[in-house]
Amino acid sequence: MSRILVKGNEAVIKGAILSGCKAFYGYPITPASEVAESAAINFPQIGGTFLQAESEVAAINMVYGAASTGQRVMTASSSPGISLKLEGISYAAGAELPMVLVDVMRGGPGLGNIAPEQSDYNQMVKGGGHGNYKLIVLAPNCAQEMCDLTMLAFELADKYRTPAVILTDGFVGQMMEPVQLPEPVTELPAKPWAVDGTPETANNLVSSIYLEAPVLEAHNEKLQQKYREISDHEVRWEQIYTDDAEIIIVGYGIVSRILQTAVEAARAQGIAVGLLRPITLFPFPVKRIQELAETASVFLVAELSNGQMVDDVRLALDGRRPTKFYGRMGGSVPSPEEILQEIKKLNNDLNKNGN
């Protein structure tokens, strides 16, 4: 397939089309608007549907309806818009509807600003809407992964009948990089549960309402079993220089690229530091973190937030090793030099303590 130069936001749509998605319903918001713009240009060219809804609430309910018919369908927004979609996302999780949601995070809370941030972690990974649900959450760190992980998101959404999220930020979304387009999906999975207007599906029901308490409890137990299965089989991460690392630094998205530069600089100065980049935020690489704790002495988590993923790292470690945090907010992005200084501080502390 061809190699093209595109923004990360545009690469999402390239991956969606290659996945067989032909429907996009959304509402523009900076810094995610290029996703909708690219969908508006490209989907009609393949006989698909693009519709700009009157609001974020309308958009997510349109996605719910299209997913109910068995279509591969998606939407995209940024942090305040995602907040508005949460009721519909909860409905979709409860109705077990596969769909792909793209969240290009920006500064908050409230309207905040249009600069990159990672403060939607809890909102997406912890199930920000009501109920006992989880979303599959994938975190790309480059334009190539914006394409590739979008294709994976459609695959996993259909496999497990659940919404899947591309959780990225304004930096990755706006960054222009070369992308090697993968081979297109040629065969989509059958969806016998869908309602497509045929006699065969006349008795199918797509709903998230279960009025009797025992029935709703049984439905929730079914969902929890699904999430356990996802956790057992779909964890993904990348690691660099972790084999002999005394310091493990953890970060995702654009932060992971900054961390890699800092780690390579620290290695050049003889500091035993490694990088763990979670690619799936749910399911989270708990076991891998626990394995690294057997040889590493300390963990450092870096985020563009007040500290959200750091809670999951601490839960995974369960006190086995100390966990430090370095965060920036409001759209401020740390430089590799800033991270290198944090690594040096940890290394000096380890040397003082005789480790």
For residues 24 and 75, the answer to whether their CB atoms sit within 8 Å is yes
203/322 same-domain check: no
- Segment 84-99 shows an average pLDDT of 98
> Cα separation of 329 and 332, whole Å?
6
Q: State whether residue 115 is helix, strand or coil.
A: coil
> Cα separation of 205 and 95, whole Å?
9
- Segment 124-145 shows an average pLDDT of 97
- The pair of three-digit structure tokens given for residue 156, joined into one six-digit string: 């996993």
182/325 same-domain check: no
Q: Which of 184, 218, 233 is the last residue of a domain?
A: 233
247/225 same-domain check: no
Q: Is pLDDT above 80 for 340?
A: yes
215/195 same-domain check: yes
222/258 same-domain check: no
189/255 same-domain check: no
48-77 pLDDT per residue, tens: 999 999 999 999 999 999 999 999 999 999
202/284 same-domain check: no
216/241 same-domain check: no
The pLDDT of residue 1 is: 66
The pLDDT of residue 286 is: 98
Nearest to 48 by CA among 80, 13, 84, 86: 13
CA dihedral 47, 23, 119, 255 (to 10 degrees): -40
Q: State whether residue 259 is helix, strand or coil.
A: helix
- The pair of three-digit structure tokens given for residue 221, joined into one six-digit string: 């137990």
5-35 pLDDT per residue, tens: 999 999 999 999 999 999 999 999 999 999 9
Cα torsion 315, 317, 322, 326: sign: negative
The pLDDT of residue 353 is: 80
For residue 74, the surrounding DSSP H or E stretch is strand 73-77
31-50 pLDDT per residue, tens: 999 999 999 999 999 999 99
209/338 same-domain check: no
Q: DSSP secondary-structure letter at 181?
A: P
185/251 same-domain check: no
Please report, for the domain that includes residue 63, its CATH number.
Answer: 3.40.50.970
Residues facing residue 166 across a β-bridge: 102, 138
175/253 same-domain check: no
What is the pairing mode between strands 273-278 and 237-240?
Answer: antiparallel
Q: How far is CA 119 from CA 23, 140, 236, 292, 355, in A?
A: 28, 16, 21, 26, 34
How far is Cα of residue 63 from the mean position of the Cα atoms in its chain?
Answer: 18
For residue 164, the surrounding DSSP H or E stretch is strand 163-169
- Residue 229 belongs to what domain range? 3-233
Number of separate domains in the chain:
2
190/278 same-domain check: no
For residues 112 and 330, the answer to whether their CB atoms sit within 8 Å is yes
The pLDDT of residue 40 is: 98
CA dihedral 85, 177, 283, 315 (to 10 degrees): -100
293-306 burial, b at 16+ Cβ within 10 Å, e below that, comes to: beebbbbbbbbbbe
Q: Which of 233, 249, 267 is the last residue of a domain?
A: 233
173-225 pLDDT per residue, tens: 999 999 999 999 999 999 999 998 899 999 999 999 999 999 999 999 999 99
> Cα separation of 256 and 285, whole Å?
15
For residues 216 and 50, the answer to whether their CB atoms sit within 8 Å is no
> Cα separation of 123 and 134, whole Å?
11
Mean pLDDT of the chain: 97
Cis peptide before 31 (omega within 30 of 0): yes
The pLDDT of residue 355 is: 57
303-328 pLDDT per residue, tens: 999 999 999 999 999 999 999 999 99
Q: Is pLDDT above 70 for 288?
A: yes
Cis peptide before 109 (omega within 30 of 0): yes
Q: Which of 204, 233, 262 is the last residue of a domain?
A: 233
Half-sphere exposure of 290 (CA within 13 A, CB side): 8
Please report, for the domain that includes residue 324, its CATH number.
Answer: 3.40.50.920
For residues 267 and 215, the answer to whether their CB atoms sit within 8 Å is no
